[in-house]
Structure 1
Amino acid sequence: MGIEALARPVPREHRELLREMLARLPEFADRLARLLSAQDEFYRQVEAVAPGELRQVCRANLERALTALAEGHGLALDAARKTGLAQARQGIPLPAVLRAFRIGGTFVYEGLLELAGPEFLNPTRTIEINSYVWKAIDLYSDALTTAYEQVAAEPSHANARLLDDLLRGRLAGQADMEAAARELGLPTAGMFVAVVTERVEPDEHDSVEALLRARRWRSAWRPGGEAGLVAIDRIEDVRRLRDVLGSLPVAAGMSRPFSGFPDVPDALHRARIARRSLPAATAGVVVFGDSPVTTLVAAAPGMARDVVRSALAGVLALPGADRKVLLDTLLAWFAGHGSAKDAADRLFVHPNTVRYRLRRVQELTKRDLTDPVDIGELYVALESVRLDPEPD
């Protein structure tokens, strides 16, 4: 199952509509992400935790399907199958994924009708658009379902489901939790750390799980190594674990040490927040609470973006290069604890240049860099921009 063609090629006049939707891909991906989060509880949670990731997934799926239809190619079902394998191994429910594809199909259909306009449409064209959109959705859904069935048949998938139940707090009693821990090769008591990782560059390095196993750490990981539990013997092991994770090209978030399996879901949530405390595509390791302000910003990205709009709106309205200069200067000033000379050394410019740029920041933001309240607002806003930069 690789490439599969539709029963009939998409009519030429319809391909122009598909290309127009592709030309406005960021807009339609954003609209689809908001629609999914409004209509499905699972994707509502994804939107709350990682809005950028949901938009990336919507954009990739829309681009793949629309391009294949617009260029008259067959649908690349291998890509859908790989997506299904990854989602199944991450524990994403199949009904949520299939529902998302149905919502997406309706969205694309209505989007094409919107682009076509009443002067273009007639009953025949409307039926044609409906036919090829839903044929594509059926083919992708079949590929996804096949992928989920394949994962369900894998010998290791029983343990993956068991770990997922433990991570999500689905096991009701202590006895069930301890039995799951034994099956996963974890101790039934003691201290643990929840870890969430994301590889930031492709390479041939060992996986996190393999590296920890080689160093005799007891851990259990979701397939692909995205999230796991690591057993530790003492608090000092947190620093050692941090060093091990830091040796890989990954962005990793760690919870603080905890004991007791009922605390696992909360620890995993905190590890995810710690992971989001690193900018996108940046390797490093963060423990939850390392930087309280950054942790709060990462925990509430939507609210933080509102702060950005109010506190740094004047700076963010500048062209990309000018905006970056002022933001980098403000970041260096904070890193230098308010010293223009220290910021100048970090930026390789004269201190007077830093002072001039800071005056520009004050003019544009209407904030006073001698007022503790204004300084606090700018720091929170700056951390939000650092973690979720504005597009150029």
Structure 2
Amino acid sequence: MPTHASTDVIAGVLSRPDLERLREELPRLAEGCVEAITAEVPGYRRAFSGELGRTIEQAVHQALAGFLNLVTSAGSADPAVPMKPSIDGAYLLGRGEATAGRPVDDLLAAYRVGARFAWTDFSAGLVAAGVDAQAMAGFAGVMFAYIDALSASSVAGHSDALAEAGHTHERRRDRLAAALFAGADLDQLDRLAQNASWDPPATLSAVWLPAEAADTVRRALDERTLRVGEEVTGSDQVVLLVPDADGTERRRLVKRLATYPAVIGPARPWHDVRVSVDRAQRAARLGLGEDVIDCEEHLADLTLAADPQLTGDLRRQALEPLAELPPATAERLAETLRLWLLLQGRREEVAERLHVHPQTVRYRMQQLRELYGDRLTDPDQLLRLVLGLSAPETTARP
């Protein structure tokens, strides 16, 4: 920002009539700055048409007038006071440019072009007024310090506007994520998606993972990925709703999550992602693995755990022929039968899994055939036995 001493120097070498002549030239100078900016900064070639063009031209005029006010106010008690309107105007200009979608680089380029044009014009007037080289250098220093101050204020306005817009955008997406998590109806979800400028994908997959890992993972995913925070899940876990994570994309997602204790739910139509949320949560509760768990790889386990009472009844029926045996014997025979059914009677493989001799397997199967009889040849009964013997023991009724 220009110093009090530097403006005193300029005020001392320019007469009041000289300053007034410069002030009279402001409209012409502002128009010339606008033409130079339009010609040299591509982003502004269309910006100076209509009402927006008049607003920006007025901002240029205000900036130039503010500089002359600064110079003519030398000796005032507070040298920052004359700059305040210009600084405030530059801040509002920066906010407006952000709202219009123009990058801050274009705005800074416009300041540079405008400053160069204004200095060329001002310096010609100074030379005509007989100002010496030292004073000219002082004038240039004050002017470019002033432009730097305006530029900084515009950058601050631009940054603040983007930050506020980003916060608003993120809050709207958070509301959409919470509604999806809650299973809201389609009409409500459509309204929230439109309000958040969120383009719905074909499907969404729910990913449960620790809160501390969520932001890192999210940055590597589709930009439409939504985040459901702990305040909504009611735990130290968050849920990421990942677009179109099926096929090849699902395999990539699994790889990205390989270092995290995450659970991936199935891909479902985006408005029905609550199904994916629930299934992933059930998989997490079952403890199906220590690393990343893909629900699509554990459908049988999830099916058996879906109705504990039903699978408990299946298990009870499957173990019924062993009820009169000592518990340890019943357990050995039940596991032998389960593996025999799963391995389609391949005795050597069953023995290897059980760490026993194949003859032991043969002896046990003789016992089991006596106990189960026709059940071991009836396809429907065999299906019930496989499901019942595979059901978690905790689901069996006492």
**Category of TM-score, reference length = shorter chain:** 0.3 to 0.5
TM-score by length of 1: 0.45
TM-score by length of 2: 0.44
Higher helix share: 2
